[in-house]
Structure 1
Amino acid sequence: MNRTPTKRVTVQVRTLAVNRVPLGRWKRDYASPTTHPTNSHGTVKKPEFHDYFVTHLPSSSLHPDPQAPTKYFHQLPRSASVPHTGESPHPPTSFQALINRETTVVRIPLRSAKHHFGATTVRGTRPSNEDAYQAGVIDIPAFAKRLPASLTIKRPGQDPIRESQGAETTSGDPQVFYFAVFDGHGGNECSTFLKETLHQYIQDTAATFELQSSLRKNRDDTDPSPENLPILQGGNSQRISDLERQLVRDWRTLVGGYFKRFVPTKFSHIGRGPRGVPVPISDPPAGVSFEEVLEYAFLRTDLEFVSAQAAKQSDELENVGHPLYQDNILYGRDQVANLMNIGGLKRFKGGSTASVALISTPTPTPFWHPGTPSSLLVSHVGDTRIVLCSTQTGDATSVTSNHHPSSPIEASRLRRYAATFVTDSFGEERMSGLANTRAFGDVHSKRIGVSAEPELHRIEMAPAEFSFLVLMSDGISGTLPDQEVVDIIKEAKTPEQGARDVVRFATDVTKEGDNATCLVVRLGGWERRLEGGLGSLGTKESREWRRQEATDPRRSRR
């Protein structure tokens, strides 16, 4: 019996080997022990993220005054009662105890503070909800503009403001609030990873850069409140330059393609040398802007997620076997074990968009107070959306733009790398099947330029200039115009109700049934949200028509 000779097939598995600074060593080698407080054991404490804010409230508002007299003043006869005045030699005991009483620090969870913040997310008709969001307070130095000296000098005889004030962080600055919405595609692995870790990367970057507060007065600071932006804050220029060069080199080595000539726009401590190699500049700036901190944190987060996926076994290699030198991939056995926990056990090919809003105030008075100015810094990737409502006009002001192939800026950036721009059946341009030209993850599209380089905007908000802030996924922004979203929130009593009403209306009128997430943040002009322009009447007729059309039983026959 003749047998056909078999061929011996040798399968060669190519792996990514990066002989650079390991990602796991980044936090260990560049940790700054002077920027973090230590606990009783002498170990360095990491910056903390809290889903609540801390405020000072008078103790009398929490429990009855134990120092009050047993007999109340309103029960005394009229002849024995003496009205209290500032010149009274014997003021009432309870009133004097209230003045001398110290305030109490109270933790208020943001998810329960429906008058300050509201969030709602629904799955829609999709099999799972790939959206995620985060809200809380991060422990970083303030980046707000300092108030003029005329407003900060305490004059003799001036009474302190008796109202609730936010507690200071470990750095001594007012609390910095963090709000973010993430829209995953291909799964929720990347959006969940960003929800749990992106704020940590921002905190670690600020600590590693040795970022100093923008409110700190320096001797060489001749202009404490500059009008030109960005605002430069103190930092370790040499360390920043080394970290930025290393990050760009890691992207060049790990991914290549688009990143061979990639130097982020906000990286002010490095330049582009021959063949696009990052080099330190001869005259670095005296400080670092918080925009640069955010850009570095976004790119570092994306690099770690992409590296984790590159270290895993993909689906097409399941039946081939493990590579010969599996332990040498990337950064060794320990690093591979750590990276395997990011994005699931198998290689995750999807990604996620992200829109982050950080709010910093120059004083402990919270940003939702009508008389408090604040600084809003937005970092955005993809097609999630952030909108402000103007108190004076009632108009919706979009802070972000969609990173789609149809955008002229994005098209010109990627045209020479991505030759596969196509138009789908809905008339929308797509690049290699993707709708977003900037996103976290998407490991198979990194070489053609799909990066997490954020679009950054800084807005100095005057007292009560804006009524509220809205963060939403494309399940809402793709269905409702910005003005309709703003007008729906105007009619709500609380931000929580506003977020719920927006999601409910978008779910009722949508034809796609995408995941929908909405976050509403109260600002100083919340109480006057219906006074500007036409109030909520500008889109009332169109919203009623859309709802009527959505509930029409003949709609399903079309």
Structure 2
Amino acid sequence: MQQSRWIGQGTRQCSRLICQRRTFHEYFVTHLPSSSLHPDSRSSAGPSLHRLPRSASQPHSPDPSGASRSPSALPTPGSQTVGVSRDTTVVRIPLKSAKHHFGAGVSRGSRPYNEDTYQAGTIEIPAFAKRQPISYTRSKARENQGAESASGDPQVFYFGVFDGHGGSECSEFLRERLHGYIEEAAEKFGMGSSLRIGQEEEAENDTVKQQDALELQRQLVDSWKDTVGGYFKRFRPEYFTSLQKTATPSRATSSHLSEQPGSSSAFEAILTYAFLRADLDFTSAQASKHSPSPSSDDPVLDDKPLNDNDVLSHPSKPASQNLTHREILRAPIGGKTRFKGGSTASIALLSTPTPTPFWNPASPATLVVAHVGDTRILLCRVSDGQAVPLTTNHHPSTPVEATRLRRYAATFVTDSFGEERVLGLANTRAFGDISSKRIGVSAEPEINTVQLAPSEYSFLVLMSDGVSGTLSDQEIVDIVKEARTPEQASRDVVNFATEVSEEADNATALVVRLGGWERRGEGGVGSLGTKEMRDYRKRDAEDPRARRQ
């Protein structure tokens, strides 16, 4: 009875979220002075009023009086006040097209098709950035260089790379839906902003939300036990504090209550829940697929997708609110028959304490990385120019992963390339892969939080194993240092990895500009540390006799 009550409550909550949630934004929002816009765009009567030349657009010049004009004080047609207004206009800039801030390089290599996908944009969750000291925020004027999201907090940026195997169904599912699961988990757990003063006292009194979060965690783990069994009968996610049997009940309860909705530990639990819930929905939908009966005589049933009611195809299921109308009309993910593929995933979320964007040299930021599999995320430090890895590959050769799975895996074998595998899989954590769930191949993420000081790091790189499996971490960041823009850097990394690889895998690289981008060549020896090795590898790859057997 209690379980049905929670299920009904969750269904109503999901329905409310679907109605309220906006679609995923592949752009960021910023403010520009209205005086910097083209005169035609500032006209209230439209661009056909005066057709002034672009040379008539004047740079923004501050008002000598320092007064800020209201939106109602816009210049009237024919007025001569162009260029002196302090009014600002909200502008949406597609992030994937902002080559000076973000770049993505993609190549299928020598494979017949590409199973890698990626995502970049902003999501609607409360800010989780570290709050700045009150004395600093009060003494520093609010810089109007960014914009706030619908929640009232600065925008939270989202970057993800997904490497599919056995097909692209799972990686496409993660590209279109994973950020929706994060938004829904933040709503269900009652996540609050880390920037609002006085919120802690309110969170301590809101025991209902805390009890709801505990129940959601228990329900999710119980669902894994009932659906899959095996390894998940003793499954205790790291950040689900209420399920840790190593601590006493009183200690577990007190530690959970001390986690405020805006704290990093609470956000880690939200990310863990989102990853595990997305994987459970995808795995359940995989298992429910089956081949159509050849003896069916009903043409209507034969033409109807057999997975019509699962999360992979129905637009009213959780996280499907992120789909556009065109995507909803597309064929269900994976078609009608069961598939055995899966995908790795690495996502990076950036939050700032002020509307000033994270790529501003004076802006601090908080970076949270959630990672499953062998996709990889790197930072480049300005002081010494070194690569800072934020993820570790989840392979059977990793001691932590080997210890976790040896009680459940039947065999660990080494292939002809010297790589250790478990039941034929190179990854011990992944989405999908239903045939390996019972032995512990889960989507429980490894989470890392980094506080980025102003201009401490020059850029962030996310890549699939088609890049990281061929190039070293330092080679990757050195290639980026030599590029002029993140867009050029991402293409250079992918092209070099594809050229020097004997059997090029699908390769994807995302380069994100940070505050120290202009100083990326200063630390250490710049890009010269691996220059000689990279030149040798390129000459060797271009020599047709070098690889002759």
Report the TM-score when normalising by structure 2.
0.81
- Give, as a single letter, the amino acid of the residue that structure 2 aligns with 1:417: Y
SS for the counterpart of 1:60 is helix
Residues 547 and 510 of structure 1, relative CA distance in 2, 3 Å threshold: same
**Which residue in 2 is equivalent to 1:56?**
31
The separation in 1 between residues aligned to 2:271 and 2:459, in whole angstroms, is 23
Range moving further from structure 2, 337-346 or 445-454: 337-346
Per-residue CA shift, 1:407-427, capped at 9, x if unaligned?
A: 000000001101300111111
Structure with higher helix content: 2
The separation in 1 between residues aligned to 2:481 and 2:402, in whole angstroms, is 36
**Which residue in 2 is equivalent to 1:29?**
12
Residue 513 of structure 2 is aligned to residue 541 of structure 1? no
- Give, as a single letter, the amino acid of the residue that structure 1 aligns with 2:106: T
Residue 508 of structure 2 is aligned to residue 512 of structure 1? no
- Pairing partner for 1:293 from 267, 270, 273: 270
Range moving further from structure 2, 54-63 or 295-304: 54-63
Residue 186 of structure 2 is aligned to residue 206 of structure 1? yes
- Pairing partner for 2:238 from 250, 265, 271: 265
Residues 376 and 369 of structure 1, relative CA distance in 2, 3 Å threshold: same
Contact 1:377 1:457 in 2 (8 A): yes
Residues 430 and 26 of structure 1, relative CA distance in 2, 3 Å threshold: farther
Residue 151 of structure 2 is aligned to residue 178 of structure 1? no
Range moving further from structure 2, 439-448 or 332-341: 332-341
**Which residue in 2 is equivalent to 1:414?**
405
**Which residue in 1 is equivalent to 2:46?**
none
Cα deviation for residue 165 of structure 1 reads 1.9
- Pairing partner for 1:165 from 145, 157, 161: 145
**Which residue in 2 is equivalent to 1:4?**
none
Per-residue CA shift, 1:210-229, capped at 9, x if unaligned?
A: 2111111116569x9xxxxx
Contact 2:35 2:87 in 1 (8 A): no
Contact 1:245 1:279 in 2 (8 A): no
Cα deviation for residue 29 of structure 1 reads 3.3
The separation in 2 between residues aligned to 1:536 and 1:95, in whole angstroms, is 51
Which structure 2 residues correspond to residues 455-470 of structure 1 after superposition, within 5 A?
Answer: 455-470=446-461
The separation in 2 between residues aligned to 1:484 and 1:432, in whole angstroms, is 32
Residues 127 and 86 of structure 1, relative CA distance in 2, 3 Å threshold: closer
- Give, as a single letter, the amino acid of the residue that structure 2 aligns with 1:497: Q
Contact 1:305 1:343 in 2 (8 A): no
Contact 2:275 2:443 in 1 (8 A): yes
The separation in 2 between residues aligned to 1:165 and 1:364, in whole angstroms, is 7
**Which residue in 2 is equivalent to 1:444?**
435
Identity %: 59
Which structure 2 residues correspond to residues 103-502 of structure 1 after superposition, within 5 A?
Answer: 103-154=88-139, 161=143, 165-218=145-198, 236-272=209-245, 282-283=253-254, 284-286=256-258, 287-288=260-261, 289-313=266-290, 334-335=309-310, 338=314, 341-502=332-493
The separation in 2 between residues aligned to 1:303 and 1:218, in whole angstroms, is 36
Residues 219 and 308 of structure 1, relative CA distance in 2, 3 Å threshold: closer
The separation in 1 between residues aligned to 2:513 and 2:495, in whole angstroms, is 20
- Give, as a single letter, the amino acid of the residue that structure 1 aligns with 2:184: D
Range moving further from structure 2, 465-474 or 234-243: 234-243
SS for the counterpart of 2:505 is coil
Cα deviation for residue 345 of structure 1 reads 1.7
Number of residues of Structure 1 aligned to a counterpart in Structure 2: 485
Range moving further from structure 2, 19-28 or 449-458: 19-28
The separation in 2 between residues aligned to 1:86 and 1:45, in whole angstroms, is 43
- Give, as a single letter, the amino acid of the residue that structure 2 aligns with 1:304: D
- Give, as a single letter, the amino acid of the residue that structure 2 aligns with 1:411: A
- Give, as a single letter, the amino acid of the residue that structure 1 aligns with 2:156: V
Contact 1:20 1:250 in 2 (8 A): no
The separation in 1 between residues aligned to 2:398 and 2:5, in whole angstroms, is 36
- Give, as a single letter, the amino acid of the residue that structure 1 aligns with 2:467: I
The separation in 1 between residues aligned to 2:219 and 2:476, in whole angstroms, is 43
Contact 1:181 1:471 in 2 (8 A): yes
CA RMSD of aligned residues (A): 3.4
- Give, as a single letter, the amino acid of the residue that structure 1 aligns with 2:234: R
- Give, as a single letter, the amino acid of the residue that structure 2 aligns with 1:529: R
Residues 148 and 478 of structure 1, relative CA distance in 2, 3 Å threshold: same
Residues 510 and 87 of structure 1, relative CA distance in 2, 3 Å threshold: closer
SS for the counterpart of 2:99 is coil
The separation in 2 between residues aligned to 1:159 and 1:20, in whole angstroms, is 51
- Give, as a single letter, the amino acid of the residue that structure 1 aligns with 2:507: A
Contact 2:379 2:387 in 1 (8 A): yes
Cα deviation for residue 234 of structure 1 reads 10
Residues 502 and 22 of structure 1, relative CA distance in 2, 3 Å threshold: farther
The separation in 2 between residues aligned to 1:353 and 1:520, in whole angstroms, is 19
Cα deviation for residue 267 of structure 1 reads 0.8
**Which residue in 2 is equivalent to 1:77?**
none
Range moving further from structure 2, 141-150 or 333-342: 333-342
Per-residue CA shift, 1:381-421, capped at 9, x if unaligned?
A: 00000000001110001000000000000000001101300
Residues 32 and 191 of structure 1, relative CA distance in 2, 3 Å threshold: closer
Per-residue CA shift, 1:466-509, capped at 9, x if unaligned?
A: 00000000000000001011001100000000000011111110
Which structure 2 residues correspond to residues 62-81 of structure 1 after superposition, within 5 A?
Answer: 62-64=37-39
Cα deviation for residue 166 of structure 1 reads 1.9
Per-residue CA shift, 1:333-375, capped at 9, x if unaligned?
A: 8458749934332112110000000000000000000000000
The separation in 2 between residues aligned to 1:240 and 1:129, in whole angstroms, is 38
The separation in 2 between residues aligned to 1:496 and 1:251, in whole angstroms, is 41
Larger Rg: 1
Per-residue CA shift, 1:298-351, capped at 9, x if unaligned?
A: 00000000000111116xx977999xxx9xxxxx98458749934332112110
Cα deviation for residue 46 of structure 1 reads 1.1
Cα deviation for residue 177 of structure 1 reads 0.2
Per-residue CA shift, 1:131-177, capped at 9, x if unaligned?
A: 000000001000101000111114xxx7654xx52211111000000
Contact 1:269 1:280 in 2 (8 A): no
Contact 2:31 2:145 in 1 (8 A): yes
